[in-house]
Amino acid sequence: MTQEINWELLKDAAVKAMQKAYAPYSHFPVGAAALVDDGRIVSGCNVENASYGVGLCAECGLVSNLSMTGGGKLVAFYCVDGAENILMPCGRCRQLLFEHSQVGMLLQTVSGIKTIEQVLPDAFGPRDLAEGFGADERN
């Protein structure tokens, strides 16, 4: 990867997203931001729901933002809590990020910068599916 990563800019975008979080139940706002391979920054915040299981993680909002603003592959990722501390995405969100990442996407983690492959080893995703594998072939 040759693209320069401005981690402070990503953190600032994650903090701004976190400030928009809707977390009336947990009181645990989360914001996430990522650099896209075309240079854009996308972000998202958590949105809770009274039916706890249907709340949305910040990473969900980020991936929706990615799709809505032109797609592409994620290059670098940063996530923060309400105190602006680095957060590690949960397993579900790691899978979601993997689906939309370029190979070797970097994540700022509590133990330093790691690749998506390091935080989700042996992941299964679109890179594993054979081209042309469609609904008709699943039956």
Catalytic residue numbers read: 59
SS3 67: helix
Query: Is the distance from CB of 71 to CB of 47 less than 8 angstroms?
Result: no
Residue 5 is classified by DSSP as -
Residue 123 token pair: 């992941």
Query: Is the distance from CB of 73 to CB of 37 less than 8 angstroms?
Result: yes
